[in-house]
Structure 1
């Protein structure tokens, strides 16, 4: 994508369909006059009076307890510098989005138009009654230090400047584990810090709490080692100034055990790295280009333990591992501040979590067979679903133990269960599968690339690094559309009808005819069919000239399905083909089957669909809990439509006793654990969270998933094809660009899985 196209895409993202990235959503009913009279006048007077009697009731009757202010004056924004409060607003909204999706914390972003420290402090103090916590963001040093210090002292709600403490907390967790792997003690190591800004000073402060000695820390800014004789240093920098003659960074790293980079690219050379001690620990955290290139570093020193700020290398030091969960824990006990004990609790929780067995969905997300504590895994991954239930309780306990909690937690198991429930919705699964696709992108044929929306989807797939698109259609049309979109990448374009493709058409036709000549196919028919894009695309996949294909945007599902069934064999051991849709619901991902192919499956087919769906769920790191749904509950009807579901369940219980599955059951009982426990305590689903629904027929499955998608705006990924021997996936007619991107991502994952089985 060229620079103008990237700029346009970024601007459109923030402008459409609604300007900005966050909004306020009512949490109470408001449909009737009665609702409105309770929400506002006269009913609103009652909670007002209760809060007047006891100010702590504000947490009981308002959203204060789950509301954080992200506050900036825009003086130190990202890599943009002092751009002003209005220009900083998109960044603050983005921080609010991260709070919400990782810890379910609501945010108002506040941009303050002053550079005066006292004015800023007074502004925040004056609005503080609105909020349960304050996250300071992108405020330049040294003013940021004084602002945070004063607000922590003068307010009775948690305040944290994430720019200072976020990197410190995450890197300190990584340092604990790196020191263990290097067989070194904190009190013995020599630490070089390249960078002397707010994050570097916060890191050094926290490392000292781990046991690193002051006299073993050498801190450098762009002008060299911080020394007592340097009159340009701030008061906080002077804290790390050494009483010695200046030395160069190159001299300082000799025999150093730890290098902490919070400065700029390439300041640590391979030659300098070679002079460090055995098992050197290098955290090169400058973004996007670290102080030493990761590949250069690991090829220079085989014994290195390395972390960066980048997501494409092991051990990413990412602030999102910290601030959402630190505030979550602080809010949940109504802490009056975020103190050193709470920060250290987060550090130790993160360090300990990296040593635990990793959930399969995290392995799936990062394309790993099994992530294990070691040099390439010293801190948890951002997609780890356990973070909220590990870090937030640790912070909450530390707040209680250190005496700053006003609302102690007594039932810790319930609290952890509640935290996990907060993660339910969302696009976390989508982010995980996209990340996995990027690990090993595959060649995906877009069989209808002449359509603008299809080409847009292919462009996104290419630019996100998810896959390598192959575009089928009339070259002139595709090239014109590419120019219109600013899609200037050199991707393969094929027109199956062109003369230059004659040799390939004939080769494909012959291969198809050889495979099907005893099933009514003649060579002439095979040659004619190869001029059609879906047949040509399917043969590209069959012949190994592409890894997968996506199609169906402009034609009915049945029409597109026909050539796939004619050309592509079923997967080994599969007797039927079915589809499932993965729905991103408020309770987490839900798999709904069969949504597109089998009109009225038999009991045996239903059982097979359930097994195929279970296998697909596991491909995404989800352990299936399956409800075989019906209009009846456990034998309440003898009608054959209910009976076939009951027979399918009996078959699964007998032949697959380890599979968590039950039915026949109505969908509300399957999804409501209290109702299920009360009426059917014998069910194998009691105490489990159902994440897979197998429907008795196509009508029920297709109608349900489309109702969910349109009425509740639930994101749908699918129909995901199950049982095909090759990665072939068909869009629903008129699929959106986003849906097509998701399906192409699934095609990449499918190709990855099928590729594993060949090895």
Structure 2
């Protein structure tokens, strides 16, 4: 049976990948009186007096919505909200398995940003966090910014920030191995969409000083024709490509130390990669076909290579990010996910691998490493408390211990 046939049979057999399981049993009338009438009135009135108690008395406290409009699904493009459900459903399974976070897939039948924003905002009383997913760029920026401003729970576009967190964590791991400093190396990010701009922003926040962002036309620089850039890209140009170099990837990647791709399959040619500095680091994150595959990159002489795929070493995948990130955020009932929390996740992931364990094919932890989600959860909770966005103050080590007991990785 082919993978296609097996995947279709798998989804059809189970009628999708999610179901509803009650946390409590109803064995008799007394159980019913606690779960429903008359006992249910008591938490209702407590929440009426203080709506934040909904995080403690209801499923909201462990519930995240995975929401899309189906306009940019995986590498499939604008396939519509119904066709996007299997991906949102799969994301919910990952949340539960890796972080014991309950997640509900929601596909909204609108391409209008205003309608999307209004619908998500009205869902706020049900959830501890919102994971935006597979929304086309640049609309995704406006949606996330508006929802973050209007909502009192974390709103996180994973295609942007989850990818950025794991890409920067992998970069830090690679730089540790080759003994280079992030503030000194030349970094090129090929691709200036949602993921590319978020990677650049987080690299800068992590201390990178020499970053150049590429779009399909070439190197981006401050003062370039404004019709070719969006507001998010424009905001980054005063801090990137400070020499205002122009040209294509072949010119810009020459003597680079780090090359990160979120662009097109095959974009990193042999000539481009060979022109980089010694001890080069190349992460090709285009899925399912990378800018250059792992074996080819290593054969050319790349010191540290990685892709988004699970069939080669150094998988750079946001599965290592969002379960632990939201576990930590909702354990302290955070009001947002800020830059400090994102950077805390970066260092939690990169810190999993000790200097003794670090090697060319192991600069980023495996997605099935049971240490990752608890470490990320504790670091994110600590950062949320420190920056004042947590409603609940608890010991981050308690978050870590609880996370270890809750994850369901075989």
Same fold by TM-score greater than 0.5: yes
Alignment pair present for 1:20 and 2:16:
yes
**2:403 match:** 419
Asked if residue 104 in structure 1 is aligned to residue 88 in structure 2, the reply is no
- The answer to whether the aligner puts 1:11 opposite 2:21 as a matched pair is no
Task: Give the match's secondary structure for 1:265.
Answer: coil
Give CA-to-partner distance per residue, 1:73-129, whole Å, 9 cap, x none: 111101111111111111111100000000111111111111111111111111111
Contact 2:320–2:373 at 8 Å: present in 1 too? no
Deviations 1:553-599 (A, max 9, x none): xxxxxxxxxxxxxxxxxxxxxxxxxxxxxxxxxxxxxxxxxxxxxxx
The worse-fitting range, judged by mean Cα deviation, of 264-273 and 400-409 is 264-273
Cα distance in 2 between the residues matched to 1:268 and 1:7: 29
1:262 aligns with 2:262: yes
| Aligned counterpart, 1:165 | 161
| Mapped partners of 2:66, 2:8: distance in 1 | 22
Give the Cα separation in 2 of the matches to 1:80 and 1:403.
40
User: Which SS does the other structure have where 2:21 is aligned?
Assistant: coil
- Is the 8 Å Cα contact of residues 328 and 399 (structure 2) preserved in structure 1? no
- Scaled by the length of structure 2, the TM-score of the pair is 0.94
Kept after mapping to 2: 8 A contact 1:218/1:240: no
CA contact (8 A) 1:287 1:310 kept: yes
For residue 195 of structure 1, report the CA deviation from its aligned partner.
0.9
**Deviations 1:473-520, CA, capped at 9 Å, x for gaps:** xxxxxxxxxxxxxxxxxxxxxxxxxxxxxxxxxxxxxxxxxxxxxxxx
Closer, same or farther in 2 for the Cα pair 1:245/1:398, shift >3 Å? closer
The residue number in structure 2 matching 1:153 is 149
Higher relative contact order (CA 8 A, sep 6+): 2
1:340 aligns to what? 339
Distance 2:324 2:397 in 1: 17
Query: 1:241-256 alignment to 2 at 5 Å?
Result: 241=237, 244=244, 246-256=246-256
- What is aligned with 1:405? 390
Q: Which residue of 2 aligns with 1:323?
A: 322
Partner of residue 352, structure 2: 353
| Distance across 2 between alignment mates of 1:60 and 1:199 | 34
CA RMSD of aligned residues (A): 1.8
> What does residue 313 of structure 1 align with?
312
Q: Secondary structure at the match of 1:187?
A: coil
**Distance in 2 of aligned mates of 1:150 and 1:50:** 30
Alignment of 1:67-466 (within 5 A): 67-213=63-209, 216-227=210-221, 228-229=224-225, 231-241=227-237, 244=244, 246-301=246-301, 304-355=303-354, 372-410=357-395, 412-423=396-407, 425=408, 428-429=409-410
Which residue matches 2:49?
53
Distance 2:351 2:6 in 1: 40
In 1, Cα distance between the equivalents of 2:166 and 2:27? 45
Provide the TM-score with structure 1 as the length reference. Answer: 0.52
Q: CA deviation at 1:12?
A: 2.1
Structure 1 distance, partners of 2:106, 2:73, is: 14
Q: State the distance in 2 between where 1:179 and 1:356 align.
A: 12
Provide the C-alpha distance between the structure 1 equivalents of 2:114 and 2:147, rounded to a whole number of angstroms: 11
Distance 2:254 2:203 in 1: 20
Q: Does the 8 Å CA contact 1:226/1:240 hold for their aligned counterparts? A: no
How far did residue 146 of structure 1 move?
1.1
Give yes or no for contact 1:220–1:226 (8 Å, CA) kept in 2: yes
- Conservation of the 8 A alpha-carbon contact between 2:129 and 2:326: yes
User: What are the Cα deviations for residues 329-380 of structure 1, in whole angstroms up to 9, with x where unaligned?
Assistant: 00000100000000000001111111177xxxxxxxxxxxxxx212221111
Q: Superposed, which structure 2 residues align to 1:527-606 within 5 Å? A: none
1:246 to partner: Cα distance: 3.5
Task: From the superposition, tell whether residues 398 and 413 of structure 1 become closer, same or farther in structure 2 (CA, over 3 Å).
Answer: closer
Provide the rounded CA distance (Å) in 2 between the counterparts of 1:418 and 1:233. 45
Matched position secondary structure for 1:97: helix
Q: 1:505 — aligned with what? A: none
Instruction: Return the alpha-carbon distance in structure 1 between the equivalents of residues 355 and 272 of structure 2.
Output: 34
Gap runs ≥5 in structure 2: none
| Count of aligned positions | 404
Cα separation, partners in 2 of 1:415 and 1:165, compared to 1, 3 Å = closer
Cα separation, 1, equivalents of 2:95 and 2:121? 22
